[in-house]
Amino acid sequence: MRIDILTILPELLEGPFSASIMKRAQEKGHVEIHVHNIRDYASGKHKNVDDYQYGGGAGMVMMIEPISSVINELKAARNYDEIIYMTPDGEILEQAACNDFSLMKNIMILCGHYKGVDERIREHFITREISIGSYVLSGGELGAAVLVDSVVRLIPGVLNDETSALTDSFQDNLLSPPVYTRPEEYNGWKVPGVLLSGNFAKIEQWREEKAIERTKERRPDLLK
């Protein structure tokens, strides 16, 4: 998979992709992550990427020309399955969408800033708009990092145990059951006996029951 991220602040994306699972996924060749500085495509002495909005009002707007230039350059080199815009008014990111994205070959992600991008970018280039929650961030970079992490970990070979991602919360519209590790007892708190029984059928039944129970308590909307 190849992921191209368009931003005016590429330095915000250096950390999330240079450690742990994201770093190993790139080193093993499972994913290519390319970060493009939109400012490199801006014209003029000061490489401006924003301007005042028509009609007045507070806040600047990202200009159409530099964004259009970088998108067209990338599209000339390859076909993209999705061109995603990270925006607070997009669809809320769900596990099902992450599963779909993980099967794609090429994805482009545009990070918004200020009051957002010129609407013509959204009308003529963007194929999907994604939000990571009902709140506003300073820019789309952190949202893009969340999206990439949630997708890349699903690519076969990225996780040491590929079945791990299949038992995560939300994969079956359920939250994950409780998990425990050594020691068996700490401060008088004991690991449930069924997990020590070696009876894998009973263990799986217990986990399913706990997953349903936890989902009913914390996210009953998932069971509807």
Residues 46, 144 share a domain: yes
Q: What does the alpha-carbon distance between residue 218 and residue 202 come to, in Å, rounded to a whole number? A: 24
Residues 141 and 178 in one domain: no
Alpha helices for 14-161 (secondary structure H): 20-27, 64-77, 95-101, 119-124, 141-152
Q: How many CA atoms lie within 13 A of 209 on its CB side?
A: 7
Per-residue pLDDT 10s for the chain (224 aa) are 999 999 999 999 999 999 999 999 999 999 999 999 999 999 988 899 999 999 999 999 999 999 999 999 999 999 999 999 999 999 999 999 999 999 999 999 999 999 999 999 999 999 999 999 999 999 999 999 999 999 999 999 999 876 666 666 677 889 999 999 999 999 999 999 999 999 999 999 999 999 999 999 999 999 98
Please report whether residue 144 resides in a domain: yes
Q: Which of 202, 203, 201 is nearest to 180 (CA)?
A: 203
**Are 56 and 115 spatial neighbours (Cβ–Cβ below 8 Å)?**
no
> In this structure, what DSSP letter does residue 163 have?
T
160 domain residue, yes or no: no
**What is the distance between the alpha carbons of residues 87 and 142, in angstroms, rounded to a whole number?**
11
Are both 8 and 119 inside the same structural domain? yes
CATH label of the domain that carries residue 200: 1.10.1270.20
Judge whether 16 lies within some domain.
yes
Q: Whole-angstrom Cα distance, residue 3 to residue 30?
A: 11
One-letter amino acid at 202 equals K
CB 196 within 8 A of CB 184: yes
Based on the fold, state whether residues 82 and 182 are members of the same structural domain.
no
**Would you give the distance in Å from CA 196 to the centre of its chain?**
36
CA atoms within 13 A on the CB side of 16: 19
DSSP label at residue 107? E
Are both 147 and 203 inside the same structural domain?
Answer: no
Supply the pTM of this predicted model: 0.90
Q: Structural domain tally of the chain?
A: 2
**Residue 133: domain span:** 2-152
What are the counts of helices (DSSP H) followed by strands (DSSP E) for the chain?
6, 9
Structure tokens belonging to residue 168:
């995560």
